[in-house]
Amino acid sequence: MAHKLEGRINALVDAYLADYSGGKDIDRVDTFDHPDRETIVAILDKLQRIVFPGFFKNRTFKVYTVRNDISMQLEDILFHLIRQLVVVLPYGETFAGLSAEELNDKAEEVAFAFLNQIPKVRAYIETDVQAAFDGDPAAFYKDEIIYTYPGLYAIFVNRIAHELYVLNVPLIPRIMTEHAHSVTGIDINPGATIGKYFFIDHGTGIVIGETTEIGDNVKVYQGVTLGALSTHGGRSLNNKKRHPTIKSNVTIYSGASILGGDTVIGENAVIGGNCFITKSIPAGAKVYIRSQELVYKYADGQGARSENLDNDGSWFYII
């Protein structure tokens, strides 16, 4: 029985190996020439300790001093980040053809350029925490926001990944944001540009595309899509503005879709729940869906009653 099973397994292995030689894109088995997702997520975890030094401490050490801990974290981040950069930089045309020594030097240069941006990231994250605290009456403490809010974690990862994106680092920024997507349900492309005091409330199902531009003091609820109007152009749309611009002090309620690279939502605008927007909205406007009607059918046999919501200016604040 075991001999028969071994023969069948060997036959499958032979079939798979033959299939791997077909020249398909997915046939590459260069084990050490691909970025390592677990290593990149571990780098994110260590960066979280640096951005929030009092909250996500390294519990391995019995004595905690900020200088010693930061030094050890940085050495570890640099070691692993440089190795991952050496792997991914050749994906970009700029770095193709470099010698191993040149590639390592470039990876080191990029790593330090990125790490020099961490104080900037921390400055923005401080405003994001404040925005969540100011904007959510369910928040009792800022610590609660830092420890538990998925929206803040997604924003933190995006701000980290965006700095690598700006440095033209391939793959790693997207691996980071897709990790955040998998644990929060919030999908923010690392190319998205996001201002200060950004608040994601609840968050599940939010999609923010690569060329989205978001100003300061913007609040977004669950299920919002800031997307492309059409992707029928495929690769021809690469590096073109496909996603909307959201000016400062805008609130976008749940389920709204705002699409298109030419679509601009003006300052202080309010976009109601479930709106589908493909044209620009002027500053200060309130947008909501008309002709909403609720129908009540009562169990006591008194028949149905309808209520038109057009005159109720608060109905579209769906959270």
Mean pLDDT of 78-90: 96
What confidence score (pLDDT) does residue 3 get? 74
**Where residue 262 falls among pLDDT bands split at 50, 70, 90?**
very high
Q: What is the pTM of this model?
A: 0.85
Residue 317, pLDDT > 90, answer no
Q: Could you give the maximum distance between any two Cα atoms of the chain, in Å?
A: 83
What confidence score (pLDDT) does residue 316 get? 54
Mean pLDDT of 63-88: 87
- The set of residues, in sequence order, having a beta carbon less than 8 Å from that of 243 and lying 6+ positions away, is 192, 208, 209, 210, 211, 212, 213, 226, 227, 228, 259, 260, 261
Residue 281, pLDDT > 80, answer yes
Q: What are the domain boundaries of the chain?
A: 31-185, 192-319
Residue 240, pLDDT > 60, answer yes
Q: Which residue has the higher pLDDT, 187 or 2?
A: 187
Residue 66, pLDDT > 90, answer no
The distance in angstroms from the start CA to the end CA of the chain is: 61
Q: What is the average pLDDT value for the chain, to the nearest integer?
A: 88
Q: Scanning the structure block, which residue is given the tokens 């605008």?
A: 269
**Where residue 15 falls among pLDDT bands split at 50, 70, 90?**
confident
**Where residue 305 falls among pLDDT bands split at 50, 70, 90?**
low
What confidence score (pLDDT) does residue 30 get? 61
Mean pLDDT of 13-19: 85
Under CATH, to which class is 192-319 assigned? mainly beta
Residue 108, pLDDT > 90, answer yes
- Residues 143-187: pLDDT tens digits? 999 999 999 999 999 999 999 999 999 999 999 999 999 999 999
Could you please report the per-residue DSSP string of 150-167? HHHHHHHHHHHHHHHHHT
Q: Scanning the structure block, which residue is given the tokens 């691996």?
A: 175
What confidence score (pLDDT) does residue 74 get? 92
Out of 36-40, 248-252, 295-299, pick the least confident. Answer: 295-299
In angstroms, the Cα distances linking 87 to 33, 81, 157 are: 6, 10, 21
- The set of residues, in sequence order, having a beta carbon less than 8 Å from that of 135 and lying 6+ positions away, is 199, 201, 219
Residue 130, pLDDT > 60, answer yes
**Fold type of domain 31-185:** serine acetyltransferase, domain 1 (1.10.3130)
What confidence score (pLDDT) does residue 34 get? 82
What confidence score (pLDDT) does residue 29 get? 61
